[in-house]
């Protein structure tokens, strides 16, 4: 198959890239490949909103304030001109989506409604009740259909092929038939999402958030950036870790410990529950550490998110999905009683190393969305900036990929990758499993949460890394595929996804051991202070053919605001 521009991933970044590419292209063949039907992509799980300095609630808000809040929230590891570009693009792109038909909630004057979110100095989070990602995803997909964009639905990315300088294409499985195919392409945009499923039972991410594009880039010998920075969202449901949106606190929800205290007054006296996510997550875990959390009959520890004072009308109007999730997964009606919550692995700040044009070091290969590290989130992302990131840089990636493809031909070669893929998958299909995929995945989640969780230290991380290396070896030696069929072999897909998770967990653990400071989402008990003198850099990691890592320090753009102490 030949495609001029191939977008891998059909979430918000992939769909916006496809739309922008289709509008820019002059006769190019553009296709979107997705392992799930597009409207099942993880963007649909985003609840609270998307940031833009529209100044609809507070006339004093502006793009410069949004830029500063984002840089401060990042703990000064974000590249500042990239942040500025994103924040200044935000109002335009929100209005563009409004004109596409995204059904934003409205103020009484008809303007787009905006609510307060953590780490923001103004009310700038645009929303649609608590289903912002869902309505965005469906609207963007409708627009793609309107623009006759080709979709390869239920195709699973295996690897990328290149000649050391240029992209040649990608290998993929057509899940419906089991065929392994090579797609020759001039340009590829990887919009494959995040990788928080390395925390398996302790994450808000969908089952498919297995970092497929990120792992493929690592295997291809290309750089990943800032992989040690993975955000824990403060409020996941106690039993399932399913997300409870930050909007619940933006609308006035209180975090309460077992003595009835709104404990955030000790940690962020000005912002309280609307401090940045890293700070609120650590505060919750500190309360639990010091014995002020609750414990259920199964030993799970948690605190309360109390919405009862908001009243039935407001909860049903502004937070209907949260109420439904609390009832379905906790047996709790938040109108009547507090929601039991704990931090949940939520978002990857690190990912595929790109510049502000979404370019990787490989010609013709681009990345956008959570798979990409540009870096606009640094060491900690502000709520409401993820949906903004995916559409702003999805748009950029679409334009840049088309401009490249218009002046390029198809690179020769690449098809030899297919024989390697067939051999690898045949070995998995023929191998007798000595351990089960479910047990190994659960063990991975336990290792990552215990040793690379909200709090870290040298000895625990080293112990965890040793356990992880053992798990990786056992998986490669003992794990096969039980289902021998070709058609819709989800056992094979889940096994390949697991190996992607192992690749990513390994590089995250390695990167974590190199950073001996605390910054944003990355907190070490043994190095509790931020160290700008020695660690104000992006970690850039490439995997060598022998499995070792090449670790480099990338410069951080601090040209707009000098790093300062972060207080809330």
Catalytic residues, by residue number, are: 277
* Cβ-proximal residues to 115 (8 Å cutoff; 6+ apart), any chain: 48, 49, 123, 125, 127, 247, 250, 251
403 has binding-site annotation: no
Q: In a 10 Å sphere around its CB, with 0-12 CB exposed, 13-18 middle and 19+ buried, how is residue 363 labelled? A: middle
Q: Has 37 been labeled as part of a binding site?
A: yes
The answer to the question of whether 248 is labelled as a binding residue is no
The span from the CA of 399 to the CA of 393, in Å, is 10
453 assigned to a ligand binding site: no
Coil vs helix vs strand at 341? strand
Q: Is 521 annotated as a binding residue?
A: no
* Distant-in-sequence, close-in-space partners of 438: CB < 8 Å, separation ≥ 6: none
Residue 346 among known ligand-binding residues: yes
Three-class SS state of 189? strand
Quote the DSSP letter at residue 254.
Answer: E
Q: Is 286 one of the annotated binding-site residues?
A: no
Q: Which residues pair with 348 in a beta bridge?
A: 230
Q: Is 240 annotated as a binding residue?
A: no
Confirm whether residue 13 is marked as ligand binding: yes
**Helices within 485-554 (DSSP H only):** 490-514, 532-535
212 is in an annotated binding site: yes
Residue 45 assigned as binding residue: yes
Phi, psi torsion values for 54, nearest 5 degrees: -80, -20
- Does residue 46 have a known ligand-binding role? yes
Q: Is position 41 annotated in a ligand binding site? A: yes
In this structure, are residues 250 and 124 in contact, taking their beta carbons and an 8 Å threshold?
Answer: no
206 labeled binding residue: no
Of 121, 127, 139, 107, which Cα lies nearest the Cα of 50?
127
Q: Is 334 annotated as a binding residue?
A: no
User: Which residues neighbour 216 within 8 Å (Cβ) at sequence distance 6 or greater?
Assistant: 157, 158, 159, 160, 170, 190, 500
245 is in an annotated binding site: yes
DSSP secondary structure string for all residues of 416-471 = THHHHHHHHHHHHHHSPPSS-HHHHHHHHHHHHHHHSSSSB-HHHHHHHHHHHHHH
Q: Is residue 311 part of an annotated ligand binding site?
A: no
* Residue 38 marked as a ligand binder: yes
Euclidean distance between CA atoms 410 and 187, whole angstroms? 9
Q: Is 34 annotated as a binding residue?
A: yes
Residue 14's Cβ-side half-sphere holds a number of Cα atoms within 13 Å equal to 35
Q: Known binder of ligand: residue 48?
A: yes
Name the residue with tokens 């307060």: 116
14 is an annotated ligand-binding site residue: yes
> Distance between CA atoms of 170 and 158, rounded to whole angstroms?
7
How are beta strands 294-295 and 301-306 bridged, if at all?
A: antiparallel
Q: Is 49 annotated as a binding residue?
A: yes
Consult the annotation and say whether 401 binds a ligand.
no
95 marked as part of a ligand binding site: no
DSSP string, 104-161: --B-TTSSBPEE--TT-SS--EE-STT-HHHHHHHHHHHHHHHTT-EEEETEEEEEEE
Q: Is 43 marked as binding a ligand?
A: yes
The binding site for substrate comprises 233, 245, 346, 381
The binding site for FAD comprises 9-14, 34-49, 212, 370, 386-387
The binding site comprises 9-14, 34-49, 212, 233, 245, 346, 370, 381, 386-387
């Amino acid at each position: 198959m030949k495609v001029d521009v191939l977008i891998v991933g059909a979430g918000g970044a992939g769909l916006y890239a496809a739309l922008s590419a289709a509008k820019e292209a002059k006769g190019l063949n553009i296709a979107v490949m997705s392992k799930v039907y597009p409207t099942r992509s993880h963007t649909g799980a985003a609840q609270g909103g998307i940031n833009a300095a529209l100044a609809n609630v507070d006339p004093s808000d502006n793009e410069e304030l949004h830029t500063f809040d984002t840089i401060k929230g990042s703990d000064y590891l974000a590249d500042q001109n990239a942040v500025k570009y994103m924040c200044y693009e935000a109002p335009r792109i929100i209005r563009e989506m409004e004109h596409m038909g995204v059904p934003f909630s409205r103020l009484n004057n008809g303007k787009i409604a905006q609510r307060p979110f953590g780490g923001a100095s103004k009310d700038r989070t645009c929303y649609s009740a608590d289903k912002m990602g869902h309505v965005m995803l469906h609207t963007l997909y409708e627009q793609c259909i309107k623009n006759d964009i080709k979709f390869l639905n239920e195709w699973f990315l295996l690897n990328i092929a290149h000649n050391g300088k240029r992209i040649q294409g990608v290998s993929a499985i057509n899940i419906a038939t089991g065929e392994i195919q090579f797609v020759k392409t001039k340009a590829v945009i990887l919009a494959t999402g995040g990788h928080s499923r390395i925390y398996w039972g302790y994450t808000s991410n969908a089952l498919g958030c297995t970092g497929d594009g990120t792992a493929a880039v690592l295997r291809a010998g290309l750089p990943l950036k800032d992989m040690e920075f993975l955000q824990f969202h403060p409020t996941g449901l106690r039993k399932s870790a399913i997300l409870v949106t930050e909007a619940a606190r933006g609308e006035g929800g209180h975090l309460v410990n077992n003595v009835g205290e709104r404990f955030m007054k000790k940690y962020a006296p000005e912002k309280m529950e609307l401090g940045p996510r890293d700070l609120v997550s650590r505060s919750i875990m500190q309360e639990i550490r010091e014995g002020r959390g609750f414990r259920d009959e199964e030993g799970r520890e948690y605190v309360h998110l109390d919405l009862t004072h908001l009243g039935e009308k407001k909860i049903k109007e502004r937070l209907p999905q949260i109420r439904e999730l609390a009832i379905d997964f906790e047996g709790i009606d938040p109108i009547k009683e507090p929601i039991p919550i704990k931090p949940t692995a939520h978002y990857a700040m690190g990912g595929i190393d790109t510049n502000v044009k979404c370019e990787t070091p490989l010609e013709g290969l681009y990345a956008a969305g959570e798979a990409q590290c540009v870096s606009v989130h640094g060491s900690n992302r502000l709520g409401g900036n993820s949906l903004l990131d995916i559409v702003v840089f999805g748009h950029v990636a679409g334009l840049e990929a088309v401009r490249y493809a218009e002046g390029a031909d198809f690179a020769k070669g690449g098809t030899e990758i297919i024989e390697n893929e067939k051999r690898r998958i045949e070995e998995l299909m023929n191998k007798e499993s000595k351990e089960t995929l479910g047990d190994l995945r659960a063990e991975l989640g336990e290792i990552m949460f215990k040793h690379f969780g909200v709090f870290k230290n040298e000895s625990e991380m080293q112990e965890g890394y040793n356990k992880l290396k053992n798990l990786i070896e056992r998986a490669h030696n003992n794990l096969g595929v039980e289902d021998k069929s070709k058609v819709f072999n989800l056992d094979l897909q889940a096994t390949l996804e697991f190996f992607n998770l192992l690749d990513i967990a390994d590089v995250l653990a390695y990167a974590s051991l190199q950073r001996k400071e605390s910054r944003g989402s990355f907190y070490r008990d043994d190095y509790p202070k931020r160290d700008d003198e020695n660690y104000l850099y992006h970690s850039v990691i490439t995997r060598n053919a022998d499995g070792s890592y090449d670790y480099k320090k990338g410069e951080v753009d601090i040209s707009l605001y000098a790093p300062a102490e972060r207080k809330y």
